Amino acid sequence: MTVQQIKTADVADIQAAKHAKFPLNMWYVAALSKEVQDKPLGRTLLNHPIVFYRTPSGQVSALEDRCCHRDLPLSLGTIDKDGIRCGYHGLLFDGTGKCIEVPGQSKIPSKAIISAYPVKEQGALIWIWFGSEGNAEPTCEPPTYDVHTDERYLYDGDKYHYQAPYQLIHDNLLDLSHLGYVHLHTIGGNAKLHMNAEMTVEAKGDSVKVVRKMPNSTPPPTYTAAYPFKGNVDRWQEIIFHPSHLEIWTGAVDVNTASLDDPERGGFHLKGFHAVTPETDETCFYIWTQASNPSSQPMESMKLIIDQSAMTFDEDKVVIEAQYANMKRFADKPMIDIHVDVGANRARRIIARLKKQKQA
């Protein structure tokens, strides 16, 4: 076999292995819109090295992160009005992955083409579709998230890179009982109260909903810094898991001023969007936004909320990465479940089913 034939065979094996790891035929969050501006963004997602770029007209495209001439990552190139230009010999590729210019020669080789990925930008998020071989094109629209366009809320966000598998972040977000221990000085509060919160878990289709209520509790520091509570509060946490992301609505009202079952209740709200997108089998990206309705000095209060949210995510990152490192050290030791693991376990069963179903 020639070197090229060996390489082609290896690539085919690699592609098959990539597709076996994660649920397919679905949209994942690739980036926040603000991450893709005037420079290419290289990012590996689901084991696929991808370059994202925005043309001067505002169109976002995603291609495999390689020039088919000498394999230089296109993320080291530059953006052109017609596409992205390789930083080695200047080959220019359009949004479909087709080479449309080879500097110094008029003829463009017919095989000068690279893989392109379907992407869609909506609500300050860039979504990417990963399909199986028989379902490469999207069969649905990306999930919507109306909070980003709701005038009642201000929001901002960022991204984290984790040295841990993506489902450990699912586990963490579906189990907010840890707040009283990990986030004592921000959104936490009384640890015993968190562990004994009234909790309901409902699985429906490909989603899981966890609702936790903590009536007549002391508001945590982040809450009191952003909202003028009169004393104790009735507090709630509502978490909805989807395979690509989680929506977390937390907040509080003054004691006995509103029903925690009223979807239009007032008080202080935190509405979090938490996209968890695998990078590799053992690493992932956590792309988040936090929206809120601060009652006074909205810009200053919102900055405080975002800063303290980031602080809590910093704390989570330390815990989860240390957890995964220890899981590998003690790989032969079993882990036990307790009452707070119900939501996370149901989410894991959904992911397992989707992997099996979409590979079939």
Provide Rg for the chain, Cα atoms.
23
Please report the pLDDT score of residue 220 as a whole number: 84
Whether 242 has a pLDDT exceeding 70, the answer reads yes
Whether 295 has a pLDDT exceeding 80, the answer reads no
Query: Do the Cβ atoms of 229 and 221 come closer than 8 Å?
Result: no
The chain-wide mean pLDDT, for the chain, equals 89
Q: Identify the weakest region by mean pLDDT among 13-17, 85-89, 328-332.
A: 13-17
Biggest CA–CA distance in the chain, Å, is: 77
pLDDT digits (tens, 9 = 90+) for 14-44: 454 555 689 999 999 999 999 999 999 999 9
Pairing of strands 125-130, 233-241: unpaired
Please report the pLDDT score of residue 225 as a whole number: 82
Which residues lie closer than 8 Å to 229 by C-beta, 6 or more apart? 219, 223, 252, 254, 268
- The residue that leads in pLDDT, 133 or 333, is 333
pLDDT digits (tens, 9 = 90+) for 164-208: 999 999 999 998 877 666 666 665 566 566 566 688 999 999 999
Q: Identify the weakest region by mean pLDDT among 67-76, 128-137, 323-332.
A: 128-137
Which residues lie closer than 8 Å to 244 by C-beta, 6 or more apart? 26, 27, 28, 29, 143, 275, 276, 277
What percentage of residues in the chain have a pLDDT greater than 90?
74
Please report the pLDDT score of residue 19 as a whole number: 53
Please report the pLDDT score of residue 273 as a whole number: 97
Which residues lie closer than 8 Å to 8 by C-beta, 6 or more apart? none
Please report the pLDDT score of residue 221 as a whole number: 80
Of 99, 64, 66, 65, the C-alpha closest to 80 is: 99
pLDDT digits (tens, 9 = 90+) for 103-155: 999 999 999 999 999 999 998 999 999 998 767 899 999 999 999 999 999 99
Per-residue pLDDT band for 339 (boundaries 50, 70, 90) equals confident
Which strand ranges, in their side-by-side order, compose the sheet holding 26-32? Answer: 26-32, 125-130, 119-122
Domains of the chain: 3-130 (2.102.10.10), 146-359 (3.90.380.10)
Instruction: Residue 204: count other Cβ atoms within 10 Å of its Cβ.
Output: 8
Whether 350 has a pLDDT exceeding 80, the answer reads yes
Please report the pLDDT score of residue 190 as a whole number: 60
Average pLDDT over residues 265-286: 96
Q: Quick check: pTM over 0.75?
A: yes
